[in-house]
Structure 1
Amino acid sequence: MTTPRRGYADGPFGQVHFQHLGEGDPVVLLHQAPMTSGQFDNVYAPLAARGFHAIGIDMPGFGLSDPVPFVPGVGDYAKAVPPVLNALGISACAILGHHTGALAATEAVLQFPDRFSALILNGPLPITEAERQDFMNGLHRRELDYKAKPHAQHMVELFDIRDDLAEGTISDARLSDYVIQAMVGKGAYWHGHHAAYQYRHDETLAAIEHRTLILTNTGDVIFDLAQRARAIRPDFAYAALEGGGIDIVDQQPEAWADAVSAFLRS
């Protein structure tokens, strides 16, 4: 099979939607905001081909997972992972998160250490207080104002933002899918980035005791933060793909899967 199977688990805030493919060693995949487990559409099969059971989870409020009934924090997203593992009969596994998902993956290993064997941080976020305030005064305010506009102009704007970030490397069909992923969730549009920028990753990085890989790519908009995380935890394994952007799993799926596999098999 090359198409993931889908399922639901009963989580702390309602139903948690997930999809999974493969029969090998399990690895959970947590998406960036504001996307879904569909972010990993193009790497489920490569991971399965490398002997992994790839499990993508829609974090609460994203995709088809029920939302948190209050403004969520990163720790709330992490609470959705164990119910999925329970539903699949998995006692422990590796976990990978991309951008906001990397923060939720960090919280998952800190809250539920016995459930995880290894951690991959695909885009850590150890920001300063000044950078946090810049977010609150900038992107946060714009996302608070994000609302439906006539003729779906709000979707066109989101498409154009993602197109600019991708610099022509992502097809119109996939960019359209990004817009759908961003729109389908039942949580407020601004919740994901708000949770990410309230999180103190510089502090929680220091608390991680699991075997960990910092995975990044030189074209990522937060590539510099991966270097900052590496300075905080020089004992972590490190891998950097050349080029790409925030859509690295679509731009370089085979190379990305190779990097994940190399760490988990080491």
Structure 2
Amino acid sequence: MNKPIKRAFLDTEDGQILYRIGGEGEPLLLLHMNPRSSDEYRELMSILVKKYRVIAMDMMGFGDSDKPPRMYTIADYAKTVITLLNELGIKTTSILGHHFGAFITGEVAATSPERVEKIILCNVAGFGEEGKAELSRRFTKGFNIKEDGSHLIERWSARASYAGSAELNHRWVLDDLKCFGYPLYAVWAVGNYCLDAAERFSSIKCPTLMLWGIHDVEEFEKLGLAKEKDRFFITKAIPHGKVVDFPGGTICMMNQIPEEISKVVMEFLDNTSV
């Protein structure tokens, strides 16, 4: 019998946050990438709820959460995580974050270590000065609605080559469209955080697992956003972390290979020696 996953809203001073929750046992919080939502973890949650109490939230500005009244920093996003944990009565949790969500995960572990058991950081890109500038050039204006509707096919085409299915690409585009007409909050937040990320992450002491989809890493280098070699800043900052590579893992890997990812994640979470 499948464990039911329910949706609910959390009221905050800056608006409402949607979250999905299901399962029983030790808590595990999932933080999505930009410009996705908790839908990014639909497949993964259905597996993990069999063993854990799993929560996935739409970060402010994404999915069905409200748009924040100002540009949010990674520190702001980390505070919303703590707000949700407090609302749910969760004293400590493990956290998995992908891309944008991984930076938030690291910040929570650095600033609120007493609330974190273990963390899983997925596809953390090493953005240098050039990468930060390219992020700003490409994305900070956000997605704009065009009179002829051409923005719809543009978003469809953006990742059609590696989404793997029309159904998954459709889900991504739906998340894209909820961001149209607003700033890409995550890009601004990561851009203002990334150059200090190594220093911030160096204070993390909890058990840490680092996952990389190699196709994703290679694609970021092709786009001029982040060099493959620069991803290793995180292994230097968190030398006690364990690293697992998925050779064919794309930016969509949470949806495409949930069985492989969940196996590695569960082995890490259940290992009492780390």
Q: Do the two structures share a fold, i.e. TM-score over 0.5?
A: yes
Q: 1:178 aligns with which of 160, 172, 175?
A: 172
Tell me by how many angstroms 1:40 deviates: 0.6
Q: Does 1:205 pair with 2:206?
A: no
Q: How does 1:244-263 map to 2 (within 5 A)?
A: 244-263=249-268
Alignment partners' CA distance in 2, 1:79 and 1:186: 25
Residue 67 of structure 1: how far off its partner (Å): 2.4
Per-residue CA deviations over 1:78-115 (Å, capped at 9, x if unaligned) read 11112222232211110111000001111122232221
- Identify the residue that residue 217 of structure 1 maps to in structure 2: 213
Structure 1 alignment gaps of length 5 or more:
none
AA at the equivalent of 2:86: N
8 Å CA contact 2:60–2:67 kept in 1: the answer is yes
- Listed one character per residue, the Cα deviations across residues 30-86 of structure 1 (whole Å, up to 9, x for unaligned) are 00011111111111111123x112210111111122222111111111111122222
Kindly report which structure 2 residues correspond to 1:72-221, keeping only aligned pairs within 5 A, or say none: 72-136=72-136, 138-140=137-139, 143-144=140-141, 146-164=143-161, 166=162, 169-185=163-179, 188-199=182-193, 200-221=196-217
Residue matched to 2:37: 36
Moved more, 57-66 or 27-36: 57-66
TM-score normalised to structure 2 length? 0.87
The TM-score, its normalising length taken from structure 1, stands at 0.90
Q: Which residue of structure 1 aligns with residue 65 of structure 2?
A: 65
Which position in structure 1 is the counterpart of 2:235? 230
Identity of aligned residues (%): 28
Q: What code does the residue aligned with 2:80 have?
A: A
Tell me, in whole angstroms, the C-alpha distance in 2 between the residues paired with 1:44 and 1:32.
15
Q: Is the 8 A contact 1:30 1:102 kept in 2?
A: yes
Q: What is the alpha-carbon distance in structure 2 between the residues aligned to residue 2 and residue 120 of structure 1?
A: 23
1:265 to 255, 262, 270: 270
User: Distance in 2 between the 1:186 and 1:95 partners?
Assistant: 28
TM-aligned CA deviation for residue 234 of structure 1: 2.5
Quote the RMSD (CA, aligned, Å). Answer: 2.0
Provide the rounded CA distance (Å) in 1 between the counterparts of 2:10 and 2:202: 31
Output the CA distance in 2 between the equivalents of 1:8 and 1:173: 26
Unaligned 5+ residue runs, structure 2?
A: 221-227
Matches of 2:180 and 2:57 in 1, distance apart? 15
Cα distance per residue 1:229-252 (max 9 Å; x no partner): 223333211111221200111111
> Which deviates the most, 151-160 or 228-237?
228-237
Distance across 2 between alignment mates of 1:79 and 1:236 = 24
